[in-house]
Chain A
Amino acid sequence: MGWLGRDVISVLDFSREDLEALFSEADRARRGELAGALEGYIVALAFFEPSTRTRMSFESAAKRLGAETIGFTSEEATSVAKGESLHDTVKMLDSYADAIVIRHRFEGAATYAAEVAEHPVINGGDGRSRHPTQAFLDLYTVRDLFGSPEGLVYTILGDLRYARTAASLMEALTIYRPRKLYLVSPQLLRPRREHLDLLERSGVPFEVLGDVEEVIGETDVLYVVRVQKERFPDPQEYERVKGSYRVTPELLEKAKPTLKVLHPLPRVDEIDPRVDSTPHAAYFHQASLGVPLRMALLKLILKG
């Protein structure tokens, strides 16, 4: 189907071929072949919710492509929007820019923005729901480290209930054929029903469990997410689960030498800093691929 003019709302809207095309384009970006490709374009960055990494990596990506950026951060959003509806803010941005990257606290905000806007909308994270560009980046990193996301054993550890990065990765893995997917979390943070349903329908072999030690020896990719404090409806629940899981060098002693630890960052305390100097740590490498991946995405959407 190609990428030109498409909205990027959920990873599930894309096929394997789409993803392979994106990844090859990201390889080109890393070789410096996309510099200046979007000269004369304007990308709007509408961040209604705090984000440093995603916003800055989109901004850097746009600028490296030669595009201009307009928009606002969450601190500015209140004054920009002045209580106006998302609908009206999106209409305005749509008339100023060639594409809109949006992050919002409400789930489904990006879907709605895409209905309102004529220009392509890219979901930079909507509530606890989806974060497709992070999932693309996660798969791209795995491809970079292992050659392909196929046939590996994945363990996603942490807040599987509220972390949209975990949710989007589960969705993304249904596009490939993982050998096994382990979903490890404290009881309170088990995955939501819609994700378990999706995994069941997709035929990805998966298991939900509470203790990462049971599966660490089999795992190829250990994907860790932090507890999403800001999404807990009840602060007492947060207190009960915070700090309940942690990846340490001692845990990794039981792992395959080739195991890689990924994390969408920022981390709180779920990965011991001592892991950073082990050959397992791949999260900084993962973060470094964010800009070329988002360059590839913007370029394909705006120019094909």
Chain B
Amino acid sequence: MAEGSGSKLLVSKIREGTVIDHIPAGRALVVLRLLNPPGDARVAIVMNAESRKLGRKDIVKVEGVILSPEQTAAVALVAPKATINIIRDYVVVEKRKASPPTVVEGILRCTNPTCITRKPGEPVKPRFKLVKEEPVTLQCTYCGTIITQEEVVNQLYG
């Protein structure tokens, strides 16, 4: 799981939940927001831990939340290199590599104010296709506007 000094903060084992490792430093809170854990869930966040892969990284551990495939995809939009460990009965039962979804529907909004998806009263959901994984770059299916990694993080955190 976690490497370096940060891991000490995470030693208390969880019975059931999710540990997300290799989050780019500074994005732990965005990831947590995507997981949207219940108010009483136990949550541990490590920020700026040392990482061989990323230099600095964040780690998020949430008890009682098992990531859905949709959440896994959403996490990949802000942390494309994340590893997701699903814990059941104190053991890692599944290790997932984050992988950005090829189509993103509903989570983000188009930045173009005259995109049809921004027209008031129109029953249309924003939809984007992934044009680049690293850094994540999306393109609006309707108007073609490019959404950068930075914009994705801003929107998911905002």
Known: A85-B122, A87-B123, A197-B146. A127 touches B114 (CB 8 A): yes
Known: A86-B119, A87-B123, A87-B124. A107 touches B146 (CB 8 A): no
Q: Which of B114, B122, B123, B139 contacts A107 (CB 8 A)?
A: B114
Q: Are B123 and A109 neighbours in the complex by a CB distance under 8 Å? A: no
Q: Are B123 and A129 neighbours in the complex by a CB distance under 8 Å? A: no
B45 to chain A, nearest CB (A): 34
Q: Are A111 and B142 neighbours in the complex by a CB distance under 8 Å? A: yes
Proximity bits, B94-116, A CB within 8 Å = 1, else 0: 00000000000000000010111
How many residues on chain A are close to B (CB under 8 Å)?
Answer: 20
Interface of A is mostly: mixed
CB-CB < 8 A to A83: which residues of B? 121
Q: Are B124 and A112 neighbours in the complex by a CB distance under 8 Å? A: yes
How many residues on chain B are close to A (CB under 8 Å)?
Answer: 19
CB-CB < 8 A to B119: which residues of A? 86, 106
CB-CB < 8 A to B85: which residues of A? none
Interface residues of B in 115-148 (CB under 8 A from A): 115-119, 121-124, 139-146
CB-CB < 8 A to A85: which residues of B? 121-123
Instruction: Specify which of A86, A107, A112 lies most central, judged by the most chain B CB atoms within 10 Å of its CB.
Output: A107
Known contacts A111-B141, A111-B142; can you find 4 more A-B pairs with CB under 8 A?
A106-B114, A107-B112, A107-B145, A126-B116
Closest 3 pairs between A and B when the two form their complex, measured CB to CB? A108-B142, A107-B143, A108-B143
Binding site for B on A (CB under 8 A): 83, 85-87, 104-109, 111-112, 126-130, 193-194, 197
- 9 residue pairs bridging A and B, Cβ less than 8 Å apart: A87-B122, A104-B116, A105-B114, A106-B116, A107-B115, A107-B143, A108-B115, A130-B144, A197-B146
